[in-house]
């Protein structure tokens, strides 16, 4: 199993149990093995901690369905998929774990690559959710999306059939004004008045501070929307607590996509996601070699 993280929060311990089961050499981990590891780490009530882990794993499994790679059985946890069969979940789980373990912490020099990969994953998840289209405009921009913010707005308006705003409220140093992905559900007639979502993607441990980064008021000046956009927020952690989930949704003033929802959307995408799947697998492979396993 992986070393215990310093936090005793249930969601963190569930990530620890998930990672130990999903990435370990054993297909399953017994309840007694988890209890012993918790006891050795000085957890005050290992039995209660294991009970809480089991309960949340059941809730996660219910929320994510086939996208969830672990299941709880009587007396043990068992992985139902190999990590490389579900790279969207594995990637996000390791992203969460890198905030718990120094050995797999992403350095500042390499964080941009990781954050961009999460943006690509979120872009595909939003496309699948809307059965529509999505463009990743987070900096640094890629592919056909222009690097400059003004040119990027022109590119968006051309694709969305919207008009530019009358007032210029950005400078040459403006990056993306909090929006990493723009997703929409077109009717096919080439006209505006459609569902549009502006998305903020937060891959790091400080994700809670980013829920309010999108200003619709500011984006109304950038683009003269025919129909007001919605907002969305993606993050690679899991929030099962109903009260916190509702609070996060209120803070965001939009749609939440956590690890479970993103993985569910990604699995439904099939072969069209093969390029990003390969990138996720490569990233995970590098991180797995650095996980702090007990006994090493």
The answer to whether 200 and 254 are in contact (CB under 8 A) is no
- pLDDT value for 294: 87
Q: Kindly list the averaged pLDDT for each block of 10 residues, start to end, along the chain of length 296.
A: 93 97 95 95 93 96 95 94 96 96 89 96 96 96 96 98 95 96 96 97 94 96 97 97 96 97 82 85 94 84
The answer to whether 21 and 79 are in contact (CB under 8 A) is yes
- pLDDT value for 274: 85
Cα 159 to Cα 194: distance, rounded to the nearest angstrom: 12
- pLDDT value for 296: 62
How many CA atoms lie within 13 Å of 291's alpha carbon, on the beta-carbon side?
25
Strand 70-73 with 230-234, pairing: unpaired
Strand 195-201 with 255-257, pairing: unpaired
- pLDDT value for 272: 64
Cα 152 to Cα 205: distance, rounded to the nearest angstrom: 29
The answer to whether 87 and 106 are in contact (CB under 8 A) is no
Options 3.40.1350, 1.20.120, 3.30.70, 3.40.50; CATH of 108-272: 3.40.1350
The residues spanned by each domain of the chain are 10-106, 108-272
Task: Name the nearest CA neighbour of 81 among 21, 11, 15.
Answer: 21
Strand 230-234 with 195-201, pairing: parallel
């Amino acid at each position: 199993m992986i070393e215990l993280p310093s936090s005793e929060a249930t969601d963190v311990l569930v990530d620890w149990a998930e990672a130990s089961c999903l990435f370990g050499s054993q297909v399953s981990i017994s309840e007694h093995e988890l209890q012993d590891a918790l006891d050795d780490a000085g957890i005050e009530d290992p039995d209660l901690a294991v009970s809480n882990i089991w309960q949340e794993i059941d809730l996660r499994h219910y929320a994510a369905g086939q996208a969830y790679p672990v299941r709880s059985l009587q007396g043990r946890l068992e992985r139902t998929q190999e990590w490389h069969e579900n790279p969207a979940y594995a990637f996000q789980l390791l992203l969460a774990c890198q905030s718990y373990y120094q050995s797999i912490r992403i350095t500042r020099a390499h964080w941009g690559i990781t954050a961009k990969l999460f943006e690509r994953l979120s872009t595909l998840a939003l496309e699948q959710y809307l059965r529509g289209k999505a463009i990743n405009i987070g900096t640094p921009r890629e592919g056909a999306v222009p690097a400059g913010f003004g040119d990027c707005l022109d590119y968006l308006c051309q694709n969305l059939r919207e008009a530019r705003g009358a007032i210029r409220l950005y400078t040459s140093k403006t990056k993306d004004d909090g929006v990493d992905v723009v997703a929409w559900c077109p009717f096919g007639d080439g006209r505006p008045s459609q569902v549009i979502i502006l998305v903020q993607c937060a891959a790091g441990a400080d994700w809670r501070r980013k829920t309010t980064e999108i200003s619709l008021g500011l984006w109304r000046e950038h683009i003269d929307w025919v129909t007001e956009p919605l907002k969305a927020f993606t993050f690679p952690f899991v929030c099962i607590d109903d009260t916190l989930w509702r609070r996060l949704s209120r803070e965001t003033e939009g749609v939440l996509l956590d690890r479970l929802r993103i993985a569910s959307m990604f699995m439904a995408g099939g072969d069209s996601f093969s390029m990003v799947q390969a990138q996720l697998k490569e990233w995970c492979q590098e991180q797995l070699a650095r996980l702090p396993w007990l006994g090493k």
